[in-house]
Amino acid sequence: MNVCSKVEIDGKVISLANTEHKLKKNIEDKLNHEGFRVVAVAYKKMDKNKKSYNINDEKDLVLLGFLAFLDPPKDTAQKTILNYIN
């Protein structure tokens, strides 16, 4: 999320510049709180002839959305937690 400067909605790309960081993470945080593991999906148009990429290329991405995976606790979670706190 920190590397996204725009969002694509219904085929239109709009700026996230005036959007507070807290607001940008609201959906991700809500899904995480509900037990989902969340991956943001974003893209950036790049020169197709570029030969190598580095960390500086990982900015000004366009957010497409999120992938959310249900990650329920394992059957052994309670035992593990109890062992940890005892």
Domain count, the chain: 1
Per-residue 3-state assignment (H helix, E strand, C coil) for the chain: CCCEEEEEECCEEEECCCCCHHHHCHHHHHHHHCCEEEEEEEECCCCCCCCCCCHHHCCCEEEEEEEEEECCCCCCHHHHHHHHHC
Query: What is the identity of the amino acid at 14?
Result: I
For the stretch 11-20, pLDDT in tens is: 999 998 877 6
Q: Which domain holds residue 14?
A: 4-85
For the stretch 50-81, pLDDT in tens is: 999 999 999 999 999 888 888 777 888 888 88
The structure's pTM equals 0.68
